[in-house]
Amino acid sequence: DSVCAPKTMANPSLPWFSSDTTYLCVVGGSAIVIFAFWITPGLRVVLKPLQLVVIALHESGHATACILTCGKVAGIEVNPDEGGVTKMRGGVQYCTLPAGYIGSCIWGGLMLFLAKDNIGAQVVAGCLVAMLLAVLFWADNWTLRFLILFFFGLIAGFWALQILTAFEGLQYFIAFMGV
């Protein structure tokens, strides 16, 4: 064993992400599927729940920055027309305004980074559930409430599949969401 020999990232306990190449193929395949659904008129509706949860995470970025800069969040709305609003009082505007995009990027990056590992996918899923619970607390409309409950069901279902079977569904789901 040479000190300079490249080390592989292969791990026998992670059958579908056993190499970086496999992981990149999963992420690249997810991007291609999302793009194909996005440009196909009849299939774009399938991505609607994912788009709306990304908007919810965007709005949670504004809410988090508001709270961190001593403001108060009055409510969060996500509308079916792919719009969202965070109602807040106080906070530092220079921090809260860009925080939606920064928060979305951080969530996507965490999902992509941690989905490669079984435990990492569980950690990010737990953090996602916690953030969605906070958003549910501030939810001002039924679209957002239903969306959050729908994603709770998806996460719970994939997590249960991962526990009860050999299928690493939670990792697939988190990687897909990260894309």
User: Rounded to whole angstroms, how far apart are CA atoms 179 and 176?
Assistant: 5
Q: What is the pLDDT of residues 108-162, one digit of tens each?
A: 999 998 988 888 989 999 999 999 999 999 988 888 899 999 999 999 999 998 8
Beta bridge partners of 78: 84
In this structure, what token pair is assigned to residue 177?
């969401």
- Please tell me the predicted confidence (pLDDT) of residue 5: 43
| DSSP annotation string for 42-106 | TTGGGGHHHHHHHHHHHHHHHHHHHHHTT-EEEEEEEETTTEEEEEEESS-HHHHHHHHHHHHHH
Whether 165 shows a pLDDT value over 90: the answer reads no
pLDDT (0 to 100) of residue 1: 46
3-state secondary structure of 126: helix
Query: Average pLDDT, stretch 25-49?
Result: 88
| pTM listed for this prediction | 0.80
Let me know: does 128 contact 143? Beta carbons within 8 Å: no
pLDDT for position 15: 52
Euclidean distance between CA atoms 58 and 75, whole angstroms: 14
Taking residues 42-51, what's their average pLDDT? 86
Is 92 a residue whose pLDDT tops 90?
yes
Reply yes or no on whether the pLDDT at 3 is more than 70.
Answer: no
Average pLDDT score, the chain = 86
* pLDDT level of residue 17 (50, 70, 90 thresholds): low
User: CA-CA distance, 151 to 58, in Å (whole number)?
Assistant: 16
26, pLDDT greater than 50 = yes
Q: What pLDDT does 18 receive?
A: 59
The structure tokens listed for 113 are 């980074």
Roughly how many angstroms between the first and final C-alpha of the chain, as a whole number?
A: 37
Average pLDDT over residues 24-40: 89
**pLDDT confidence of residue 153:** 93
- With pLDDT > 70 as the criterion, what percentage of the chain qualifies? 89
> Is the pLDDT confidence value at 63 over 50?
yes
